[in-house]
Structure 1
Amino acid sequence: MLNISIIQLWCMYMDTIVVDQGRSSMYGFVEPQTIQPSGNTLQNRQHYLQTWMDESKRDVYLVPYIDGSHWQMMVIIPKQCKIIWFCSLHRKMKNDLRTMLQGVIGKSRGQLVQILYPKVCNQQVDSWECGFYVMCWIKTIIRAVITDDWNERFKTTSPITEDTINQIRQEWTAYLLQRWS
């Protein structure tokens, strides 16, 4: 499992790509440390999400989420009251998370949040890869400018290749060195 700091730094890197593409009003990132249940109250998590979405007004939010020791990802589209859930173990979203998100996204629109599970998405082989899957999905969404048609865009259960994982490692390392050297 990847440390949360690695995922946070990846999101910072992806945000620079979004800005360079001129799409900073389209994609936003949610701070994974602030929305995880460990160390944060339900009220604090909801307040953070509500405030960030109200102030930033992005079309799509990419949200790495850690459950125990497993990374998963949400794509939140507030204007459509929709969440797309990605899990490399093909697990469903837990009810407490769904309830928390309903309290933020659905409440402001007076609607039930719709949770979509891509019919297929990459499935990990080993126990340590989940963070790399989240990083890869974020990169894919941003580079291909995906905002809808999730089932058309993600249609394989094939594991992410070792070459792809190594490329993500190299990009992450290059960004780290560039940022702090």
Structure 2
Amino acid sequence: MQQEVTQQVTIQVTQQVTEQLSRVFAQQLQDELKRMGLTQQPELHTEARRTRSPTHVSTKGSNAPEDISESDDELSRLYVDTPFHLVAMGKVHNLGPTIHHERIDSGIVRVEVVEVLDASALVPIPSEEVQTVGQAPNQFIQWPKRLVDPHVKEWTNGKDNDNHDEDNASDENKGPISCLLTMTTHLGPQPIELILKEEIVGRSAISLFVGSEEILEICVGNQMLSAVILQVWIMHLHGICVRKDTAHLYGFLDPHTTQDVGNKREDIQTYIMTQLSEGNKECYLLPYYYPNHWQLFVLCPRKNLIVFLCSLGNKPKANIKSTLDLAMQAHQMTKNKRNSKPKWIKPMSRMQRGSFECGYYVMRHMTTIISASVVDSWMEIFNVQDPFSEQDINEIRERWALFFCEATSI
């Protein structure tokens, strides 16, 4: 009898705490929506929530974004994602299912570039005639829907003008962050599941559960990042490697599997050593979290070299340094090489201003390495201590939001 009473009391207390936390989170979300000039939409019914497709989500099958309509007086922003930035203003033309005698996929639209903003940027879908944005005017070209932000009424001197208040919001409010925040308002208590495939981190597939709290970290932009945010970023960077045909150069080490909390040192060492031996990559990127701070390690097994980047200028902690040394030494032995400790180098790193930006610094450094196909000359490439600008940080937030909205559906 006493046990039943205890269970009932426990259930009641749990419900009360859950309800209180939900109210706190709802208020926090409302405050952020208000700050960004948005309003929280009414809760959708279950069926409506399941079929809703916000802008920039996956373009596959029934999850494709809503059709982007054609209009003579409306322009669209045209983005590229390596790195993510605005490169042109253009018009969308719905003139049938083919272009230059090639069929257009459902996730692609035909555009005409009206104003070039970055002439040297590579177009997302090049052709024989057009490889860069500067070559695109007076041509019909294909552009992924997910990289088209439609319906800007007028574009003058680099600024879009509209009499409507909602269109006077900042670019950030109209882009991927807005999409992500809108998604959060309809997410409910259940997190979104993504699969970090075995081929990416060298172990059995990992289910990543991204909830409203993690999404809000990106939306707000002033909080320490959770490990799952970095795991999703690894998925994004792996996709870039595949498209650039550099997946044979770069491997990734899972930040959750390698953190000290909850993992045995021997298991971490075994995991890393197995990855180095079986992956046979040129470089392995390890975003590492030590309480309240993210750092980046780049393991180069063929050169028996470890590159260390820290936005606070700290030295690597003894535990992780010893673990990486032993894993690299064991790998050298499997290759019948001399059992010698790896060489460590610490290039100059960008220095963060505040207390939360370290995760973004690690993500930005990882992006630089992958985008520029860096495998050596670390001291020459990383030679600046100036902090990243707010625009640099926001670009990473937008790219994360764009990838997540594309990879998921609500």
Query: TM-score of the superposition, structure 1-length normalised?
Result: 0.97
Q: Which amino acid aligns with 1:68?
A: P
Residues 1:98 and 2:321 aligned together: yes
- In 1: Cα distance, 2:395 partner to 2:300 partner: 28
Residues 1:51 and 2:279 aligned together: no
Q: 1:108, CA displacement in angstroms?
A: 2.7
For structure 1, list consecutive stretches of 5 or more residues without a partner in the other structure: none
Alignment of 1:12-91 (within 5 A): 12-91=235-314
Q: 1:39, CA displacement in angstroms?
A: 0.3
Percent of aligned positions that are identical: 34
Equivalent residue of 1:134, what SS? Answer: helix
Residues 1:179 and 2:402 aligned together: no
- In 1: Cα distance, 2:251 partner to 2:266 partner: 21
Q: 1:129, CA displacement in angstroms?
A: 0.2
Q: 1:71, CA displacement in angstroms?
A: 0.2
For structure 2, list consecutive stretches of 5 or more residues without a partner in the other structure: 1-223, 333-338
- In 2: Cα distance, 1:97 partner to 1:153 partner: 25
Q: Which amino acid aligns with 1:154?
A: F
- In 2: Cα distance, 1:176 partner to 1:157 partner: 30
Q: 1:80, CA displacement in angstroms?
A: 1.2
Post-superposition CA distance 1:66-125 (Å, at most 9, x none) = 01110000010011111000000010112221111111102332111111100x210000
Determine the structure 2 residue equivalent to 1:117. 346
Q: Which amino acid aligns with 1:128?
A: F
- In 2: Cα distance, 1:63 partner to 1:88 partner: 15
Q: Which amino acid aligns with 2:303?
A: Q
- In 2: Cα distance, 1:64 partner to 1:48 partner: 15
Post-superposition CA distance 1:120-145 (Å, at most 9, x none) = 21000000100000000000111111
- In 1: Cα distance, 2:356 partner to 2:317 partner: 21
Determine the structure 1 residue equivalent to 2:42. none
User: Aligned match of 1:140 in 335, 343, 368?
Assistant: 368
- In 2: Cα distance, 1:170 partner to 1:152 partner: 28
Structure number with bigger Rg: 2
Question: Relative contact order (alpha carbons < 8 A, sep ≥ 6): 1 or 2 greater?
Answer: 1
Equivalent residue of 2:286, what SS? Answer: strand
- Worse-superposed segment, 107-116 or 35-44: 107-116
Equivalent residue of 2:256, what SS? Answer: helix
Determine the structure 1 residue equivalent to 2:230. 7
Determine the structure 2 residue equivalent to 1:165. 393
- In 2: Cα distance, 1:59 partner to 1:80 partner: 9
Residues 1:154 and 2:382 aligned together: yes
Q: Which amino acid aligns with 1:58?
A: K
- In 2: Cα distance, 1:164 partner to 1:40 partner: 33
- In 1: Cα distance, 2:331 partner to 2:226 partner: 33
Residues 1:129 and 2:352 aligned together: no
Aligned residues: 180
Q: Which amino acid aligns with 1:111?
A: S
- In 1: Cα distance, 2:383 partner to 2:323 partner: 28
Q: Which amino acid aligns with 2:360?
A: F
- Worse-superposed segment, 46-55 or 136-145: 46-55
Equivalent residue of 2:404, what SS? Answer: helix
Q: 1:3, CA displacement in angstroms?
A: 0.6
- In 2: Cα distance, 1:141 partner to 1:151 partner: 13
Structure (1/2) with the larger strand percentage: 2
- In 2: Cα distance, 1:69 partner to 1:144 partner: 29
Q: 1:57, CA displacement in angstroms?
A: 1.0
Query: TM-score of the superposition, structure 2-length normalised?
Result: 0.43
Equivalent residue of 1:75, what SS? Answer: strand
- In 1: Cα distance, 2:303 partner to 2:329 partner: 10
Let me know the Cα RMSD of the aligned residues.
Answer: 0.8
